[in-house]
Structures are given as C-alpha cells and as structure tokens.
Structure 1
Amino acid sequence: MSFTRTLWLGALLLFLAPALTQADEPEQAVLAGGCFWSMQAPFDALEGVLETELGYTGGHTLDPGYWQVVTGRTGHVEAVRILFDPGSIDFSEILEAFWRSIDPLDPHGQFCDRGSHYRTAIFPQDAAQRAIAEASRAELNRSGRFDQPVVTRIRDAAPFYRAEDEHQNYYRNHPERYADYVTHCGREERLQALWGVPNKLGPPWK
C-alpha cells in the first residue's frame, strides 16, 4: 500500500471515528411512574436496555433520602433512570413500555400510592426526546382510548439522585414482599382495565 493511500485511509478513519463513537453511545431515559419499585421490571425485560437505576428527581432538595421524599416537601418524584442502546431500542419504544406500566389519568399518585412524589412524569434528556415525548402523549390523547386527558407531565431534565441500595432491584431481591405489595395496591387490576393484555408490546393507542 502506498504511503499516500495509507495517509488517505488514516484521515478517513479519523473523520468517521466521532460518528461511529456517537452511534454506539448509550442513551438514558428518566421516567416517573409512581412507586419506583415497580418501574424496573418492565424495562429490565426489554431487549436493548442495558441498566436501570432508581432514584429521585425534579425537586429542590439536594441529595434527598427516601424519608425526605415521601413527605412530599422536597418536590422530587420517585423515578427510574434507564440506560439503553439506541441501536437496539429507541426512546419511542421505551415510552410505549412506560405508558403500559402506569395509570396516565391519575393526577394524585399511582394506584394505592398517593402524593405528589408518586405523580407520573417524563423527563426528556434533550430536545429530540422532548419532541418524541410530546408526540407520544398527543397521539395517546388523540387515540380515543380514554374519555379523559392524559395528565402525565413532560418536565425539564433535572439532577437525578440515586436511591438507597435497599430500593434497587426490589422486585428481584424481595419477590414475595413485592408480589404482596402489587396485589394489595391494585396495580395489576388497574393496568388490565386500562391497557388490556398485560405486557403487550407496541404503541398503547393501537
């Protein structure tokens, strides 16, 4: 291979490297869907999701703890941060799973969990995510599935504070206690009434 050709190939690789690196970079989604114990399982099951983490976001208290957040005075909501491979799953598909995991008509909490820290919300991480979130919510409202508007808010991205270790992967680490919580909170019955077939994939307005 000639020296000139080698230089040309090297320059081409240097030019393409940023695009290749960017394409392979994981993205994150931050979603609030009530008690965060129930917000890991739906996303852990999705192909392309690399990691989920529970925490608090959207409020004014720095580095809050669980017992502060549940007072409702920190402004934070319980949320899940989802790290995903955009080459395998996109943000719109993440939102499809999100809608089917919540009651988007409840302005005061989720299922048996009441209070401002249990309200549902989407926290877009950039302008592209915001556009997708707004379009997704608008499509759900136009679908005619519900006879009242979706109240899930689309909020500005905010610092995400990781929750205490005892909350992470609660559904896996304490399966019996988690099952008892789900049963007594009325979660499954309400989701069935709202969405029909549990865990059905695809746009929830279809």
Structure 2
Amino acid sequence: MKARFAVVAGLALALSGGLAANITHGADAAAPSSASASAIFAGGCFWSMEAAFEKLPGVISAESGYTGGRTANPSYEDVSSGRTGHAEAVRVRFDPAKVSYPQLVDYFWHHIDPTVKDQQFCDHGPQYRTGIYFSDEAQHKAAEASRDALLKSGRFAQIRTEIVAAGPFYPAEEYHQDFVKKNPLRYEAYRIGCVRDARLAQVWGTK
C-alpha cells in the first residue's frame, strides 16, 4: 500500500497541471431489487476493482473492504502491513435479473492479471492477491467452471487466483469508498504509475 501512495505522490502534480479527470463511473442507478445478491472478489487495489464493477450494468453497488484474514475488524494499516492475512477486496451487490454471477466472474477476470501470486501490477504482498470468495455452492461451481474454461482455452498455463469460501467481509474506511470519484487525479496518477492498463492489454488484448 505504501508503494501505491508513493506512485500517486510522484505523478499527481504532473497530472494536475494538464490532465483532465475523465474517469467515468456508470453505477447502475436503479433502485435495489428485493432479489439482489452479493459477491466478493479480490483483484489487487480495491479502488480499481470498485470502480470497475460500478460500471457494469446490473451492479447496484460495490464496496471496498478486507477479507480472508485472521483478525476481526482490521484497519487499513493492519492490512497493508501484510501480516493479518487479509486481501483488499470488493463486495458487489447486484441484480441477478440484470447480470448473472457467471457474468460477474467473467468481468472480474478481465480486470486482473490471474497469472501472478500475491501481487497485482505495482502492488506486491499477500494483501494484493486475487481471489473469488463464493457464498454458496452455485457460486463455487460457477467460479471453478469459469477458471477451468480459461485454462482449457490455452490462454494461460496456470491461474494463481484463489477460489475459496467467503469469510467475514470488513468494509474499508470511508475515505477508501468511492476513492476514484473523490480523488480522480490521484487515482489517475496511481493507475498510470502502476501501468495497470498496459498490463491488462498484454494479458487480455485490447478489445
């Protein structure tokens, strides 16, 4: 996490001089359905994953937080130390009538690099591992089927993303929620410095 803020600090001034904040967020504005469901994913920087999922039609909300660790109610500093076992994650609330869980999983893959362990882009450590945290057997089967299809396609020799049962999810501090909307220039500096988009293009292509 310290590396993340170092990248932000290094580029924010340059960007603020001439770069327009043009990040858009298409969070579904529809009222939550009584049949809404939830899903938990870890894809490195939770700022990035929250912003990505909020663009997907059918997603009601995405919340940054921590999961998969050994202690209750961890702080940002606890998790960023890498010692609590938590991963930065997002809890996605979605309307199954508009977007299915398998579609969420497919969308998730295309926003991460699944070939590396305990890191994503410029962020390193177990807190930046990738994971799919299923809440029931249907989600479990869908996640494994999606992973197996990717391996069968020959695109990847291995996938290092864990697929495990969901445990407690602890919302991150308020200043992390909707970080991209609150701090567009700082986030753009981070994303450019982390070469996230360039690596995603290498992994998945530019389409």
Q: TM-score when scaled to structure 2?
A: 0.82
Match of 2:148 in 1: 138
Q: Which amino acid aligns with 2:158?
A: P
Tell me the CA shift for residue 24 of structure 1.
4.5
Separation in 2 of the partners of 1:129 and 1:51?
Answer: 19
Structure 1, gaps ≥5 residues long: 1-22, 201-206
Q: Within the alignment, does 1:183 sit opposite 2:192 as a pair?
A: yes
1:184-206 CA distance string (max 9 Å, x none): 01101100111112xx5xxxxxx
Q: Runs of at least 4 residues of structure 1 off by over 3 A?
A: none
Structure 1: how far apart are the matches of 2:70 and 2:36?
28
Superposed displacement of residue 176, structure 1? 0.4
The aligned counterpart of 2:105 is: 95
Q: How far apart are the structure 1 equivalents of 2:164 and 2:136?
A: 11
Question: Is 2:95 the counterpart of 1:85?
Answer: yes
Cα RMSD for the two superposed structures: 1.1
**Which residue is equivalent to 2:39?**
29
Number of paired residues? 175
Matched-pair contact (CA < 8 Å) for 1:107–1:151:
yes
Q: Is the 8 A contact 1:53 1:162 kept in 2?
A: yes
Distance 1:45 1:28 in 2: 16
Looking at structure 2, the residues matched to 115 and 149 of structure 1 have their Cα atoms a distance apart, in angstroms, of 19
Q: 2:15: which partner in 1?
A: none
Pair member with larger Rg: 1
Q: 1:36, 1:80 within 8 Å by CA — same for their partners in 2?
A: yes
Alignment correspondent of 1:195: 204
> CA-to-partner distance for each residue in 1:24-62, whole Å, 9 max, x for gaps?
510101000001110012211111100110000011111
Q: How far apart are 1:108 and its partner, in Å?
A: 2.4
The residue identity in structure 2 corresponding to 1:80 is: V
